[in-house]
Structure 1
């Protein structure tokens, strides 16, 4: 059997699995939709319950079992926010993504409290470690400047999501290198805007991006994604459906951070900034045998499949089907917005 035929058979076995079973890494998702109580954050002490988002989060019980809505009134909140693992069912709702902004400026090489560099993981302006998180109409921003090509330690995360079953609606993620750390869990992004330069959506989550705008601000060469699936057993990957990719620089659709990296773009408009080859193997030709990179009915001057690397694929209807609906993230089970 030829090597190409073996890869094709392996791919189709995975497509059938994704389309037919609940993802094995996750149990049944039991969301709580209706809010039990609401908190208000306002920079003016007389107009809300708290003046900072972190204060509002800290007021929630350490083990939370009810839906709590934190309404964040218009303003720029310069603070670093973290939601701990057991504070589930938290909703953060802004007054609009251009009106409510939470921002900070740490990078991976920023010195932390221990005297050591924070690293990429801890550079995040906003960190979510709990399940069933929802964010609506708010911007998450890392204010660190766009690094020069080849700069070390300049990863600067705007938001890190490490909890299962999270949804983001009408949000903006603003940064440069490593803007959105789509770390772990099943996630849904609807009508969001993500801006960055290199690997500005990265991690090992199982995520569906629907109707999102991905905007590059790379000064030379950049990349939209760096998906980090490292095991053949991981039920993870990124799927972009009805999105658009615009911006500056020469842009790869993805770089193979993980040996088994998976990224799909479907019905997506691509500007002429897309590098014709489309994908980069992270400098390791062996990854060309194990990654799954695909397009399906994309449009725009950057979407031309001619010139793409031979280890990516133009998906058939059958191959694309599992990636373009809520079933990709078991969404009918937990997305009730």
Structure 2
């Protein structure tokens, strides 16, 4: 009889525990400068994540201006950082001169997800009230170096080299990227969907033209490239849509609103004069006062509709279906 009761008790315990184990919430901590959370800085929250983490670890960041540099190490994947809004939660620092050392935010890990926060490099940024003698130096707001990473309603603010989209497959949705020179750069295989690209060309001085992208595709077999879908390009001053950082640079603007901040020439081969046929720069279905392609560089490719559609599709970055597996939806 006693044994029978023990068995029944264990069965009841298992029935109670199993659904609770299945429904267990992901790991979660709160960052609050006022001290009402688990941590007062974002970096300390990241430091608390176990090495080789295999669970989605949520870091919820309360509103405030966080003056700190943040790094997610390569061995800390599956981190989700969620702010209170890109106008409410802001991370800011002002390192500059070194491309590698200047990022305010850097992630080297795979499976990084960020939502509703702004990363800013305040060096020479218009709102900081300072005037520096050398505005055209690297001052990175964010470095993205891991694979399968996504950014939802995130702000990236800077002047030169704002968003270093370095390596891996990335998805940006409803993000705002501000800058003047090469302010979206790197070898990322990335889709920018419904994003706002704000040119701050006035920071460069009268008559100086900036550059939105500097894409770094090195050879014809590389899968990477930047694809902008349903985006808005606006601001003040003038900027090229892109210039070639490497000989097979690839950038597509698809169904996007290009205002008159876009220089009529559109694209620049930079150091690859004579190799223009290797560059893949294209605009398809774009509109707005800067979308007239009649004065674009003559070597710019005219891609077929099917070729553009292949690139301007989620499948360009979504091998394995990782976007659908993310813990945050659009």
Question: What is the TM-score with the length of structure 1 in the denominator?
Answer: 0.83
Deviation at 1:150, TM superposition (A): 11
- Equivalent runs, 1:96-115 vs 2, <5 Å: 96-108=85-97
Q: Structure 1 residues 314, 302: closer, same or farther in 2, change over 3 A?
A: farther
Inter-partner Cα distance in structure 1 for 2:271 and 2:111: 37
Equivalent residue in structure 2 for 1:270, among 249, 255, 258:
258
Which residue in the other structure is 1:176 paired with? 159
Larger mean Cα displacement after TM superposition, 252-261 or 316-325: 316-325
CA contact (8 A) 2:73 2:108 kept: yes
Shift in Å, 1:152: 8.0
1:129 aligns with 2:129: no
Distance in 2, matches of 1:202 and 1:139, equals 18
Where structure 2 has 5 or more consecutive residues not aligned to the other structure, the ranges are 1-23, 203-207
- Higher-Rg structure is 2
- 2:267 matched to which residue of 1? 279
> Is 1:328 aligned to 2:316, yes or no?
yes
Secondary structure in structure 2 of the residue aligned to 1:307: coil
- Structure 1 residue 140 displacement after superposition: 0.5
Deviations 1:191-235 (A, max 9, x none): 000000101000001000000000000123111100011122211
Aligned to 1:5: none
2:303 corresponds to 1:315: yes
- Report the CA distance between 1:314 and its aligned residue: 4.0
2:49 is aligned, of 30, 41, 60, to 60
Quote the offset at 1:122 in angstroms: 1.7
* SS of the residue 1:334 aligns to: coil
Closer, same or farther: CA 150–228 of 1 in aligned 2, 3 Å: farther
Summarize the alignment of residues 1-337 of structure 1 with structure 2, pairs less than 5 Å apart: 36-45=26-35, 47-108=36-97, 119-145=98-124, 151=134, 154-219=137-202, 220-330=208-318, 333-336=321-324, 337=329
Tell me by how many angstroms 1:284 deviates: 3.0
The runs of 5 or more residues in structure 1 that have no matched partner are 1-33, 109-118
> Shift in Å at residue 146 of structure 1?
5.1
2:69 touches 2:92 (CA, 8 Å); kept in 1? Answer: yes
- In 2, Cα distance between the equivalents of 1:255 and 1:66? 39
1:270-308 alpha-carbon deviations (Å, 9 max, x no partner): 111211110011143123121100000100010101011
Q: Is the 8 A contact 1:83 1:127 kept in 2?
A: yes
In the alignment of these two chains, the number of paired residues is 293
CA shift for structure 1 position 325: 1.4
Q: Distance in 1 between matches of 2:309 and 2:199?
A: 28
Q: Which secondary structure state, in structure 1, belongs to the residue aligned with residue 100 of structure 2?
A: helix
Moved more, 86-95 or 151-160: 151-160
Q: CA RMSD in A?
A: 1.9
